[in-house]
Amino acid sequence: MDVYGSIVLLSGPSGAGKSSLVAEIEKEIKNIFFSVSTTTRQKRDGEKDGVDYYFVTKEQFEKDIKENLFLEWAEVHGNYYGTSLKHTIDALKVGKIVIFDIDVQGFLQAKEKIGELITSVFVTTPSLTDLKSRLIQRGTDSLDVIEKRVQNAKKELLFAKKYDYFIVNDDFQKAKENLLQIVNVSKVKTSSINLDNFIKKWLE
């Protein structure tokens, strides 16, 4: 059967455990492609081009915007961030499952462009209190940044209904199992299969 790849978008508050979940999915499912974002911000120590981000110049990014080469993009504090359509399509062409970690605004852009190809998942903590304590425990953000993340989480949660699936990460194993199954079934979505071709052959 001719299979296209499929696209799984993951959103949710920073601290809900998306990165840990995706790391588990990458271990368990072959043929997965974790989409790397493109950015114009400076490379930090230890970051690798093509792994953490694709680092490009502002001129290049703006040229790509004009040529409609981004699935979604945004400007944050004077830097551009975006998801290159080319990398996604290249991965889909060879039947890969493409996973993105994406914010709500990016998801809404992507949904408008290629909604029928997307499986979308919103991941959250069981409560706001729980989110705060996770962020404090993680110890990577200042209290100011944590407060910003919390305020952002409140806003993003209101868009959860626009997603296909909703995972509450209160039990990591269960959340992982749910996401694993969602990614697996994305392969048998009618939009992931070349049905016209299948039907033609079926009738022979």
- By CB under 8 A, residue 107 contacts its own copies: no
- Measure the CA–CA gap between 17 and 25, rounded to whole angstroms: 12
Phi, psi of 99 (to 5 degrees): -110, 130
Q: 83: which 2 tokens?
A: 């998801």
- By CB under 8 A, residue 165 contacts its own copies: yes
Q: If residue 92 lies in a helix (H) or strand (E), which one and from where to where?
A: helix 85-93
**Window 3-32: residues binding its own copies (CB under 8 A):** none
**Window 143-162: residues binding its own copies (CB under 8 A):** 154, 157-158, 160-162
- CB closer to its own copies out of 34 and 165: 165
Residue 192 vs residues 5, 64, 87, 101, 122: alpha-carbon distances, Å: 6, 27, 18, 20, 21
- By CB under 8 A, residue 137 contacts its own copies: no
Give the distance, in angstroms, between the CA of residue 41 and the centroid of all CA atoms in the same chain.
20
- Least distance from its own copies to the Cβ atom of residue 184, Å: 5
Count of residues interacting with its own copies (CB under 8 A): 34
Q: Would you call 15 exposed, middle or buried from its count of C-beta atoms within 10 A (0-12, 13-18, 19+)?
A: buried
- CB closer to its own copies out of 23 and 185: 185
- By CB under 8 A, residue 163 contacts its own copies: yes
Q: Site residues (CB under 8 A) for its own copies? A: 1, 122, 124, 126-128, 154, 157-158, 160-168, 178, 181-182, 184-185, 188-190, 193, 195, 198-199, 201-204
